[in-house]
Amino acid sequence: MEPMESRHPLDPLIAAADRALRAVFAPAHASRPVPGNPPETPASAVPTGAENAAAHTPALGETDRRESAALMRVNHAGEVAAQALYHGQALVSRSTTTRDLLLKAAREEADHLAWCETRLRELGSRPSLLNPLWYLGSFAIGALAAATGDRTSLGFVVETEKQVEGHLDEHLARLPTDDTRSRAILNVMRTDEIGHGAAAKMAGASELPAPVRVLMRHAARVMTTAAYWI
């Protein structure tokens, strides 16, 4: 029997670069259907382009549509950052078990990315123009966290998901009442995020120091505020 080929030292870096390009620039693909009933298009016409996107939200007034789009843009940016965080951590993680846990969570977060992207199109809007910046910054934070050890890396997952849960609760309270589609998406995302945090905790996550948690909250606030508008 011929010996198995060993992995090239650059293989992990190439895989990380591929994941980054897909997360930031390629259309997202979900393994699960978009939560919630799809918006109805008026039977009188099936327009195209921007008109088609607007027709997908007949129940929302313009003010509500803009608010929903801004909130979903923030959530989309958050999912880009989550992908980057997990990818950075997986690249540097020391344990195969930890790496597999992180990449599994990243694949589930890819569903969230696709759902938010779909909803933004339905609302006639676009993702944040700063997504490449969010990805690069979060990837660096993830790699740095993983370099200090798997327990600290998993601690970042626990704290990140706790903060994401808080952001989702805030957005669920702010969404226009009639936007049941976005609400359904965020509710499923919230359930998944809680599961990711619980899995990391069970895998041996260590609690992060209070100053680190505060710094993470401030960094997240900068991203969510900027992504709301840009």
Mean pLDDT on 181-206: 94
The span from the CA of 47 to the CA of 44, in Å, is 10
3-state DSSP helix/strand/coil % of the chain, to nearest 5: 70, 0, 30
Is 188 in contact with 77 (CB distance < 8 Å)? no
Residue 166, pLDDT > 70, answer yes
Q: Which helix (H) or strand (E) holds 35?
A: none
Specify the 3-state DSSP secondary structure of 215: helix
C-alpha closest to that of 152 among 112, 107, 98: 98
List pLDDT tens digits, range 93-150. Answer: 888 899 899 988 888 888 999 999 999 999 999 999 999 998 888 898 889 888 989 9
Residue 4, pLDDT > 80, answer no
Q: What domains lie within the chain, and their CATH numbers?
A: 58-229 (1.20.1260.10)
The burial class, CB within 10 Å (0-12 / 13-18 / 19+), for 27 is exposed
Is 150 in contact with 60 (CB distance < 8 Å)? no
pLDDT for 52: 45
Residue 167, pLDDT > 80, answer yes
